[in-house]
Structure formats: structure tokens, C-alpha cells
Chain A
């Protein structure tokens, strides 16, 4: 069965520092990969997606992710975080028919 593992449940970081949120997936076939952000009491907002092509994907709010097929990873990075980036981040893989399988989430906490 397909699964998504987010290796860190919480990531505290100081403002303007770089951050990496890790995501690994299990799949024997080609996948579509996504990162979503969820602010308190809101739905999920798409940060970026990998469908095909370049393995380095750039998204909104200065985030980027790199697809690594050999390591089955799709880690999310930002070179300099802001207080406003404090939120829950979810990695997801899309299966046939369109349903998404999500990881458990990583809580990013940016401190001044």
C-alpha cells in the first residue's frame, strides 16, 4: 500500500533561518507529489506539486522541494523563514482516481 512518512512531527526554527521538512513515500509506480500548508482553523493550501519533469519544484511563499526517485523523498525547503510561516505542513501522494494519501504532518514553529 502507498504510504507517506513525514519524519519530523515538530520543527522549531528561528526567524530568517533555513528549514527543511522531510517527506518519504513508498510507491512502486510513478507518483504525483504535493506539499500543502494548513493554518489554524483553515483548510489546506497547495504550496507546490511535482508531476513530472524537473526534479526541483518551486512553489509559493519562497518554498521549494526536490523530488528524489532513488531515495523516494520529496523534502520541502525554504532558505529563510518568517514568523508567518508558522503552520502545519503536509506531504501527500496522489493515487489513481485522484485521492490523496497524506503524511502525519509537520508543525513548523518559527520563533523570533
Chain B
């Protein structure tokens, strides 16, 4: 079956541009997570959805970051007015139960 997919796989943005990163979770998975992985670091939690409800957004680094999952399936992570420090790999994960998370391949964002 299909795993978690993310698009685009690579995104180059000029500083100040807005970007939108998409995540398609495994069908039927209730929970969806976003993580940010800086170069040479472990992933860091950004936000978490259960169905369409955003239950935890404590990891979003600033109000320039916004995530949504309006129909409880596909999710979009939006970054407004991108800065160089936003350059990272953004990972999406989904889970059916609250134990194992299945990760997508990530979107590598480079802000010039």
C-alpha cells in the first residue's frame, strides 16, 4: 500500500517568499505530525493533528508557521516570509494508533 507522501520533495525559495508544503498521510490514519530537521540534527516536533483538530502546535517556531488539515486527511504546512533559518527538511508522519509513526520522505527547503 502507499506510504506517506510529501510534495514537493525539494523547494528553493528566496528570502521573504511564502511556501506551502503538502503531506498526504496513509489512508485512514487519524494522527498527523510535522517535524523540522535541520542539517545534522534530529527531527524536532512542530505540530500535531488528530483528524482535523490541531491538538498541539507548541513546536511551531514563530507565527510565520501555520499548519492545517481541513478535512482530516491531507495537511499543508505554510511558512510565510521565509528566512534563511527556515532551511531544513520538513518531515510529515502519520499514525493509526498512538504508537508507531510512519514517516514520509520529507521536503528539503532551501531559503536563499
Assess whether B18 is interfacial by the CB under 8 Å rule: no
Majority-rule SS of A interface residues: strand
CB-based A-B contact count at 8 angstroms:
57
Assess whether A94 is interfacial by the CB under 8 Å rule: yes
A101 to chain B, nearest CB (A): 7
Contact count band on A: 20 to 34
Measured between beta carbons, the chain A residues less than 8 angstroms from B100 are 46, 49
Measured between beta carbons, the chain A residues less than 8 angstroms from B35 are 100
Q: Are B45 and A101 in contact (CB under 8 A)?
A: yes
Assess whether B21 is interfacial by the CB under 8 Å rule: no
| Those 5 A-B pairs whose CB atoms lie nearest each other, nearest first | A102-B42, A43-B103, A44-B103, A99-B45, A43-B105
- Which residues of B pack against A, CB within 8 Å? 4, 31, 33, 35, 40-45, 48, 55-56, 59, 91, 93, 95, 98-106
- Which residues of A pack against B, CB within 8 Å? 4, 32, 36, 41-46, 49, 51, 90, 92, 94, 97-105
